Structure formats: C-alpha cells, structure tokens
Amino acid sequence: MPIPYPPAGHSEDVWRRVRVIFNSQVVVDADVPKLVWEHHRFPVYYFRLSDIREEYLANRAAGENEVDVYDLVVDGKTSPAAVTVAKAADLKGYAKIEPSKADAWFEEDERIFGHPKDPYKRIITLQSSKKVQVEIDGVEVASTTRPVLLYETGLPLRYYIPHTDVRLDLLEDDVETTSHCPYKGDASYYFVKLPSGERKRGLAWWYKTPKAETLDIKGHVAFYDEKVDVRVNGVLNQRPVTQFS
C-alpha cells in the first residue's frame, strides 16, 4: 500500500520564520525555508545560502557525492561538518544544517527539537476498552482493559498501557536511552528484567510530559510490538500500519 505522504526527494517552501543558533549567535534567519524529504520518514530544513551567515562558514571540504561541506565557526567555537550544500538541481543555492550540529532551533518564536514536524502526518489517540496483553519470551509483562490507542500516519498502531497495569517489578529505568518525537515529546525507556535474569533493552518506553496533542498517553507505557507478543482481545496483534494522511 502506498505511503500517503511525500516520497523521498519531495521539497516545498514553507512560509515560516526559522532561526538557528550556535554559540549564542544567529547563524540562520530564514523567512521561507524549504522542507525537504531526504527519505519518506520525516523532513529536514534547507536554507538559501544567502540566509546562512557567510562569515560563519569555514573549512570547505568535499563530502560524499561531491557535495561541499562546511564547518560552522562562531567566535572560536567550531561545529565540524555542520553545513552541507545541496547537489540536486532543484535545490541549487540551498544548504542544510544538521540539527544536532547547532545549539537551538526556532520556528517563529517556538523552540523545536530534533526534526521539524511533517505537515502531512497526523496523530490520533483514542481511549479503548479492548483487552491488551503483552508477553515477552512467554512472560506476561502487562495486561489492561483500558489502553490508549495511538494512531500515527505511516507507523504501526501503538498500545499505551497505564503503569498500574504493567508489571513494574519487571521494569528498570534505562537512564542512558532517550529519544525525541516532535509530536509526542521526550521518551524515557525501561529495561525489561525477565525472571530468567535476562535484561532486554529498547522494548518499553513512556512519556513523562507528552505534548498537548498526545496528553492521553501520559503515565502510560508502550511496548515495541514488532519485538514482543501483543494480544488484543485474545488475538495475536497483526501490527496494522496507520495510513491516514
């Protein structure tokens, strides 16, 4: 089934002021940047070269695919290989800054983290009374009849389970693992400690302070369905992908 949002290679102008800060200086201030889908998962910003402060570009070098790569250098502080000048004909005169290579990003006056939101994606959360059971290597780690179902364009349906319906004795904080979603916020992770003594990483996460559009998942735990067994009303989950746009 085709993915209902832009494919790799799509780009479009957005009428949105975007600023990039590095070492307390504004290195980019763009009124009409481009959103570019380098792959289908999410877009990144590209800027006209004229929107990037030329005096902060240094140490030009040839990168992969013969593109030009620059360091960002501001008042003696360097962010290596931070800026890549586009090679594609439709992006001639544009460049991108790697999100992690700058200190802060702003859309209008709101700070953003990670990548910008995809305007073609949606998230819906629904309260449910389905019975959802999660097993890992034959051990039931969660069982609930009050999950929150989270639908996100192009991704599998996720079941968020209240902490009180999860075997907390089998969970241990994984303080070294975090991730950021521009739609949901900052995720915290758990190790799953099985009775066998095995500790599994990356199978369970939760959002302590989710963003406004996903407040219903606060205090709930999700499991990586692709790597565990999830039964919904007694039937092994087929992991449907949400296809709405």
pLDDT tens-place string over residues 32-66: 999 999 988 899 999 999 999 999 999 888 766 66
> Taking residues 208-225, what's their average pLDDT?
94
pLDDT at 89: 86
pLDDT at 1: 45
For the cut 50, the answer to whether the pLDDT of residue 245 exceeds it is: no
| Three-state secondary-structure class, residue 55 | helix
> Taking residues 173-181, what's their average pLDDT?
92
Q: Which residues are 204's β-sheet partners?
A: 190, 223
Percent of the chain whose predicted confidence (pLDDT) is above 70? 93
For the cut 60, the answer to whether the pLDDT of residue 234 exceeds it is: yes
Taking CA atoms, 90 is separated from 9, 10, 34, 95, 159, in Å, by 10, 10, 11, 12, 41
Tokens 């290596």 -> residue: 80
For the cut 90, the answer to whether the pLDDT of residue 94 exceeds it is: yes
pLDDT at 6: 85
Q: Which two tokens stand for residue 243?
A: 């296809």
> Taking residues 200-228, what's their average pLDDT?
94
* Domains of the chain, first to last: 11-112 (2.170.150.40), 123-236 (2.170.150.40)
For the cut 80, the answer to whether the pLDDT of residue 18 exceeds it is: yes
> Taking residues 209-234, what's their average pLDDT?
94
For the cut 50, the answer to whether the pLDDT of residue 71 exceeds it is: yes
Residues 6+ apart with CB under 8 A from 183: 117, 121, 123, 152, 211, 213, 214
Residues 6+ apart with CB under 8 A from 48: 30, 33, 93, 94
Q: Which residues are 205's β-sheet partners?
A: 189, 222
Q: Which two tokens stand for residue 196?
A: 């066998």
Q: What is the residue-averaged pLDDT of the chain?
A: 91
Nearest to 159 by CA among 212, 238, 213: 238
Percent of the chain whose predicted confidence (pLDDT) is above 90? 77
pLDDT at 41: 84
For the cut 80, the answer to whether the pLDDT of residue 11 exceeds it is: yes
| Three-state secondary-structure class, residue 142 | strand
> Taking residues 186-190, what's their average pLDDT?
95
